[in-house]
A and B are shown apart, each in its own frame.
Chain A
Amino acid sequence: MKKSAAIAVLFLVAAIFLSLNVSIYALFTRRAVDEMTVEERKNAISLEDYLPFADGTRAVTVKSSLRFSDGDRLPVLDGASALYPIYASVAASVYPEGSVTFENGAFADGSAVQFRNTLRAYRAVADGDADIVFCAAPSKEQREYAASVGAELELIPIGREGFVFIVNENNPVNGLTAEQLRGIYTGKYKNWSELGGPDRMIDPKTRLAGSGSQTVMEHFMNGEPMITGRAFGFLGVSIGYSFRFYVEAVPREHTVKMLAVDGVSPTAENIKNGKYPLVTEFYAVCRKDNEDENVRRLLDWLLSDEGQELIEAVGYARIK
């Protein structure tokens, strides 16, 4: 074989692999890698940002008539990431300094605040590893798990939040009806042009089963089966869902916009006054048989004027 031909073949094969990898990166990898800058990360919900009692913490403190002291048995708090600012603020307002310990990027064993997120928080409260978890309503599986370990969950609504649908900021669609949104997730609508948008495939994104937003979405679908993705959907234009606070608390250079639903934008005001149609309650959840006096005192406090003031001060809508 001629040397020049052999080298050309080798370069061609290398070029094919290079093109393949560049394409994979551009179409898939780049979108999945978090591109937040250090500055942007400072504005995102992070455990450190809302660490109770830390200097410069974003945790809110309110004047509280309930104040636990070092000698008290402190209820262990846990919950969803979107609600972490609330239970961090509860600890900052009610718990004694030193009750929350944070080491190497995580809460230490024995800390009165823990962070397991919705999926594991429900398990933790059922198992007795957490006293009160702050979450959206549990999924069927989470209820079944609790029942399997002999736990009956008590759900106390403590606030309200908007469930929002999000698209890329460049998407010209600004709002959809609830029926159109359901139609996207049943597969009825396949192209944005059917909904007043560009002639591009709709890529409906779903969330992890058991997460708070996925459980709310399943409820929103009224039992209609959801499609779980579309072949070559990555070439289309996506839509997803989350909670308003979580979307707004994570400002980025490239961002998303929240869609109006039935003509109403998910502003804090519209969620508070009930005009926005997709408002969901969130809960303080404990085991029904948890008779710890301080657990009951804290639950009562969350529903008091002081507790509700805290919910509102963090950025959510009060339940009362």
Chain B
Amino acid sequence: MRERTFYILLAAVVALGVTVTAALAAYTAYEYENCSIITYIATELW
């Protein structure tokens, strides 16, 4: 694989990863602000 192609693909994977992570974080923050305390405690990992 040509080095330029590799870096373009790497940049694309990183950009996609950062975008998905940021979206998930934003969605989580929104849900956290609006979720009920009961839901939060009831779904705790044990």
Contacts and interface: CB of A to CB of B under 8 A. Distances in A.
Interface of A: 1-3, 6-7, 9-10, 13-14, 16-17, 20-21, 24-36, 166-170, 205, 207, 237-242, 246-247, 250, 252, 254-256
Contacts of B34: 32
Contacts of A14: 13, 17
A268 B38 CA distance: 19
Nearest to A254: B42
6 contacts: A2-B1, A24-B24, A24-B25, A31-B43, A36-B39, A254-B42
A29 B38 contact: no
A21 B20 contact: yes
Interface string B1-43: 1010010011001101110110011011001101111111111
A29 B13 contact: no
Contacts of B17: 13-14, 16-17, 20
A205 B38 contact: no
The 8 closest A-B pairs by CB, nearest first: A17-B17, A32-B31, A170-B46, A240-B37, A32-B32, A32-B35, A29-B28, A6-B1
A31 B36 CA distance: 10
Contact of A240 (B16, B41, B43, B45): B41
Nearest to B39: A34
Contacts of A246: 38
B6 A256 contact: no
A29 B42 contact: no
Most chain B CB inside 10 Å of its own CB: which residue of A30, A32, A237, A246: A32
A85 B41 CA distance: 24
A202 to B, nearest CB: 12
A190 to B, nearest CB: 17
B24 A34 contact: no
Contacts of B25: 24
B31 A1 contact: no
Most chain A CB inside 10 Å of its own CB: which residue of B24, B31, B38: B38
A215 B31 CA distance: 23
Contacts of B37: 166, 205, 207, 240-242
Contact of A168 (B9, B24, B32, B42): B42
A13 B40 contact: no
Contact of A252 (B10, B21, B32, B38): B38
A1 B6 contact: yes
Nearest to A12: B13
Contact of A166 (B16, B20, B41, B46): B41
B45 to A, nearest CB: 8
A275 to B, nearest CB: 24
A205 B40 contact: yes
B7 to A, nearest CB: 10
A35 B44 CA distance: 12
B40 A32 contact: yes
Given A14-B13, A28-B32, A35-B39, 17 more contacts: A1-B6, A16-B17, A17-B20, A24-B21, A25-B24, A26-B45, A29-B27, A31-B40, A31-B43, A32-B31, A32-B32, A35-B43, A36-B39, A166-B41, A239-B41, A240-B37, A247-B38
B28 A169 contact: no
Contacts of A20: 17, 21
B10 A10 contact: yes
B40 A242 contact: no
